[in-house]
C-alpha cells in the first residue's frame, strides 16, 4: 500500500539517488540528486544507506498526501512551512505536505525508511526524461517506502534533527571555487578575469542538464572537437554567457571550457535558484 | 610526447591532442588494463577523459602511459579490434534528403550510394545514450549542421552532420541532416533495467565498432 501520494507535482518532483556512474563513454549522463549532500542528510536522518532513493522536490507547488503512518525526513531547501529541513519525524495518515515557501535553495529532498521503491536503470532510480530513464511522477502518483520503520532508533523518539553544524544554508551571492578547464589557455586574460570579477545571475532557463549564467558577455574562444564534459564545467558558446553542465547534461560537447566548479562546491551551487546571484573565485590544482 | 595531459576537475585528467595512432593504441590498451584507481574513461574526438576515485600524481599517470602504451609489453596486452561489421537497414526517406542532394550538387540516388557505400567506425559516443559519432563519411557528403535545429527528431533517424554520420537513439532535438530511418534499437532502455546491465544488450554499437548502412529496398 502506498505510503504517500503526489497530489500535485508542482515545479517538479523526481526520484533520485547517487546516479549512474561508469556509462559515460556510452553517452549516459551521471544523473542523480543535484545536491548529493542534502540527499545523504535526508537518508542519514532515518539511518538509511546514503544513496537510498529520495524524492527531489524542486521549488514550490508540490503537494504530497500521507496515506499511511510513516516516518519521513527532509533536507536541503526549506520549502515546506510545516516540515523543517534537516529533520525527520513520524507522520500520520491524512497529513499533507505543501512545498509553498519560497526563499533560499532550489531542491528539498524527501526521504523515507529504506528509500522510495522504484525501478532502476543502470542500477539507479534517477529520472532522466530526456533519455527515457526513470519512473516519472505525475499528479496522483503513489510512492511506497522500502521499509516500514527507520533503521535508526525511533523507540519513544518523536523526531530527529541534524546537528546545526551539519546543516547548510543557501545564501545569495555565495562565492564558488572554480578550477581551470581544458580550454583555459584559449581564453583571453580579460575573459578569465571577467568570470570572477562580476556577479552572475542564474537564468530561468536553467535545469538539471545545465545552469545558464546571465551577466556581462565574456569573449569566448574557438569551438573545439567534441570532448568529454565533467559535471560542473563552464561551457562558453558564442553568446558569451556560460552554461554550467549539471548532472543530466550531455557527456560530450564542443564549446570551449575555461573553468570547472570545484567538486566541494557543486552541491551548494546546485541549490542556486533562478534569479540568485553567484560569484566565482579561481583556485589552482 | 604524442599526447598532452591536462587536469580536468578534482578527479580527472584529460589526455588530448591525440593523433589517430596514439589514440587507438591508448584505447586498445585501456580495454584490457587501466591505471590504478580508475573509475571510468570516456572517449572524445581526439581526447580521452580518465576519471579517478582519487587522482594520482601526473607523473604516476605519465609513467603508466609510457609503460603500458609504449612499453615493451604493450603490444601483447592490446585487444584486437572487433572485425564484425554491423549492418543497419535504412529506409532512405529522410526529410532532408532532397535538400542535402541539392546543396551538394548530387542526385538523391548518389547521396544514398555515397552514404551506404562506406564502412564506418564508431569514433566515440555521446549527445544521447548510444549516439554514435561515425568516422568514414564520404567527403562529398560533408555539410555543416543546420543553422536552425529541429525541436524533435525521432529515435532511429539516420543523419549526417559536419564530417560525421550518426544515428539518433532517443527522441531529441537535433541539428543534423536526416537522410532516412532505421529501427530505434540503438539504446534499449529496457535492457538497462537488468540487475547487471550488459553493454552489448543495451547498446547495439560501442566505440570502435564498424558499421555499414544498407538501403532497405534493393
Mean pLDDT, rounded, for A206-234:
97
How does pLDDT run across A133-153, given as a tens digit for each residue?
999 999 999 999 999 999 988
CB contact under 8 A, B39 and A22: yes
* CB-CB neighbors (< 8 A) of A132 in chain B: 170, 187, 189
For A255-273, what is the mean pLDDT? 97
Number of DSSP helices (H) and strands (E) in chain A, helices first:
3, 19
Segment B15-35 mean pLDDT: 92
Continuous H helices in chain A: 36-44, 189-197, 263-269
Q: Give the pLDDT confidence of A68-121 residue by residue, as tens digits.
A: 999 999 999 999 999 999 999 999 999 999 999 998 899 999 999 999 999 999
State chain A's mean pLDDT as an integer.
96
| CB-facing half-sphere around the CA of A200: CA atoms within 13 A | 29
Determine, for residues B189 and A133 on separate chains, whether the beta-carbon distance falls below 8 Å. yes
Judged against a pLDDT cut of 60, whether residue B147 lies above it is answered with yes
Nearest Cα of chain A lies from the Cα of B169 at a distance, in angstroms, of 9
Q: Dig out the grid coordinates for A278 from the structure.
A: 553567484
What is the complex's ipTM, to 2 decimals? 0.95
Bridge partners of residue A91, in order along the sequence: A70
Is residue B120's pLDDT more than 80? Answer: yes
Using one digit for the tens of pLDDT, what is the confidence trace for A11-62?
999 999 999 999 999 999 999 999 999 999 999 999 999 999 999 999 999 9
Q: How many CB atoms lie within 10 A of CB A243?
A: 22
Question: Is-contact A184 A258, C-beta < 8 A?
Answer: yes
Are residues B199 and A260, on separate chains, in Cβ contact within 8 Å?
Answer: no
* Option in A21, A121, A226 nearest B192 (CB): A121
DSSP symbol at B71: S
Interface touch A27/B40, C-beta < 8 Å: no
Cell 566548479, located at residue: A261
Q: Do B170 and A131 touch (CB under 8 A)?
A: yes
Cβ contact (<8 Å) for A22 and B203? no
**pLDDT tens figures, A147-179:** 999 998 888 999 999 999 999 999 888 999 999
Task: Report whether pLDDT(A218) > 90.
Answer: yes
Instruction: State whether B45 and A120 contact (CB < 8 Å).
Output: no
Chain segment A194-207, per-residue pLDDT in tens: 999 999 999 999 99
| B128 close to A (CB below 8 A) | yes
Contact at CB, B8 and A25, closer than 8 angstroms: no
Backbone phi and psi for residue A165, each to the nearest 5 degrees, phi listed first: -70, -15
Q: Which of B47, B130, B192 sits opposite A27 (nearest CB)?
A: B130
Tens of pLDDT, residues B162-201: 999 999 999 999 999 999 999 999 999 999 999 999 999 9
CB contact under 8 A, B42 and A252: yes
Beta bridge partners of A264: none
A97 or B67, which is more confident: A97
Strand B210-215 relative to strand B85-90, pairing: parallel
- Tell me the chain A residues in contact with residue B50 when contact means C-beta distances shorter than 8 Å: none
Q: Residue B217 pLDDT more than 90? A: no
Contacts of B48 in chain A (CB under 8 A): 228
Average pLDDT on B56-78 reads 78
Per-window interface: A 28-87 vs B, CB < 8 A: 28
| Percent of chain B with pLDDT strictly greater than 70 | 94
The whole-angstrom separation of Cα B52 and Cα B10 is: 9
For the record, the C-alpha cell of B83 comes out as 572485425
Contact B42 A132 (CB under 8 A): no
Minimal Cβ distance to A260: which of B9, B40, B203 = B9
A237 touching B, CB under 8 A? no
pLDDT-derived band at B80 (thresholds 50, 70, 90) equals low
| pLDDT at site B79 | 53
Q: Is B187 an 8 Å CB contact of chain A?
A: yes
Question: Would an 8 Å CB–CB cutoff place B59 in contact with chain A?
Answer: no
Average predicted confidence (pLDDT) for chain B: 93
The predicted pLDDT at position B74 comes to 55
- pLDDT score of B83: 77
- Does position B42 have pLDDT exceeding 60, yes or no? yes
Confidence of residue B40 (pLDDT cuts 50, 70, 90): very high
Which residue among B8, B128, B172 places its CB closest to the CB of A230?
A: B8
pLDDT surpasses 80 at A225: yes
* Cβ pairs bridging A and B (under 8 Å): 118
DSSP A25: G
| pLDDT surpasses 70 at B90 | yes
Q: CA A74, CA A86: separation in Å to the nearest integer?
A: 6
* Chain B residues in contact with A23 (beta carbon < 8 A): 40, 129
DSSP sequence for A221-283:
----S-EE--TTEEE--TTS--EEE-TTS-SEE-S---EEE-HHHHHHHTT--TT-EEEEEE-
What is the mean pLDDT of the segment spanning A223-239?
A: 96
Is residue A10 within 8 Å of A63, Cβ to Cβ? Answer: yes
Rounded-to-integer distance, Cα A45 and Cα A39, Å: 10
Q: For residue A26, give the nearest of B14, B51, B203 by CB distance.
A: B203
Chain B residues near residue A182 by CB distance under 8 angstroms: 6, 8, 14, 16, 47
Amino acid at each position: 500500500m502506498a505510503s504517500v501520494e503526489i497530489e500535485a507535482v508542482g515545479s517538479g518532483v523526481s526520484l533520485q539517488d547517487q546516479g549512474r556512474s561508469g556509462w559515460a563513454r556510452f553517452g549516459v549522463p551521471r544523473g542523480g540528486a543535484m545536491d548529493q549532500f542534502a540527499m545523504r542528510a535526508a537518508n542519514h536522518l532515518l539511518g538509511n544507506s546514503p544513496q537510498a532513493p529520495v524524492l527531489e522536490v524542486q521549488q514550490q507547488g508540490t503537494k504530497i498526501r500521507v496515506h499511511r503512518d510513516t516516518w519521513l525526513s527532509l533536507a536541503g531547501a526549506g520549502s515546506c512551512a510545516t516540515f523543517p529541513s534537516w529533520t525527520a519525524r513520524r507522520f500520520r495518515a491524512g497529513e499533507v505536505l505543501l512545498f509553498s515557501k519560497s526563499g533560499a535553495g532550489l531542491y528539498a529532498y524527501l526521504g523515507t525508511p529504506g528509500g522510495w521503491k522504484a525501478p532502476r536503470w543502470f542500477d539507479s532510480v534517477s529520472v532522466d526524461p530526456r533519455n527515457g530513464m526513470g519512473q516519472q511522477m505525475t499528479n496522483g502518483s503513489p510512492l511506497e517506502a522500502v521499509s516500514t520503520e527507520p533503521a535508526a532508533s525511533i523507540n519513544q523518539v518523536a523526531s530527529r534533527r541534524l546537528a546545526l553544524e551539519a546543516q547548510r544554508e543557501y545564501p545569495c551571492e555565495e562565492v564558488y571555487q572554480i578550477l581551470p578547464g581544458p580550454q583555459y589557455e584559449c581564453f583571453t586574460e580579460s575573459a578569465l578575469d571577467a568570470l570572477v570579477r562580476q556577479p552572475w545571475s542564474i537564468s530561468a532557463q536553467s535545469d538539471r542538464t545545465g545552469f545558464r549564467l546571465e551577466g556581462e558577455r565574456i569573449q569566448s574562444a574557438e569551438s573545439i572537437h567534441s570532448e568529454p564534459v565533467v559535471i560542473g564545467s563552464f561551457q562558453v558558446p558564442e553568446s558569451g554567457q556560460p552554461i554550467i553542465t549539471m548532472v543530466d547534461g550531455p557527456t560530450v560537447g564542443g564549446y570551449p571550457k575555461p573553468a570547472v566548479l570545484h567538486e566541494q562546491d557543486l552541491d551548494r551551487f546546485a541549490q542556486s535558484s533562478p534569479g540568485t546571484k553567484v560569484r566565482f573565485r579561481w583556485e589552482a590544482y | 610526447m604524442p599526447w598532452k595531459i591536462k587536469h580536468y576537475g578534482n578527479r580527472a585528467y584529460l589526455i588530448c591532442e591525440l593523433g589517430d595512432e596514439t589514440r587507438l593504441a591508448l584505447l586498445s590498451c585501456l580495454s584490457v588494463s587501466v591505471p590504478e584507481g580508475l573509475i571510468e574513461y570516456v572517449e572524445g574526438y581526439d581526447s580521452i577523459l580518465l576519471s579517478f576515485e582519487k587522482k594520482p600524481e601526473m607523473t604516476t599517470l605519465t609513467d603508466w602511459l609510457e609503460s603500458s602504451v609504449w612499453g615493451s609489453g604493450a603490444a601483447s596486452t592490446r585487444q584486437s579490434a572487433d572485425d564484425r561489421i554491423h549492418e543497419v537497414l535504412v529506409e532512405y526517406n529522410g526529410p532532408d534528403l532532397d535538400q542535402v542532394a541539392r546543396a551538394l550538387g548530387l542526385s538523391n540516388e548518389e547521396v544514398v550510394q555515397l552514404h551506404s557505400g562506406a564502412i564506418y567506425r564508431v569514433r566515440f559516443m555521446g549527445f544521447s545514450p548510444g549516439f554514435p559519432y561515425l568516422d568514414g563519411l564520404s567527403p562529398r557528403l560533408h555539410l555543416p549542421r543546420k543553422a536552425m535545429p529541429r525541436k524533435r527528431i525521432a529515435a532511429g533517424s539516420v543523419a549526417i552532420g559536419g564530417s560525421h554520420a550518426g544515428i539518433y537513439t532517443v527522441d531529441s532535438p537535433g541539428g543534423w541532416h536526416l537522410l532516412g530511418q532505421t529501427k530505434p534499437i540503438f539504446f534499449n532502455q529496457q535492457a538497462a533495467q537488468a540487475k547487471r546491465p550488459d553493454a552489448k544488450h543495451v547498446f547495439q554499437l560501442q566505440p570502435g565498432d564498424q558499421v555499414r548502412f544498407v538501403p532497405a529496398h534493393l
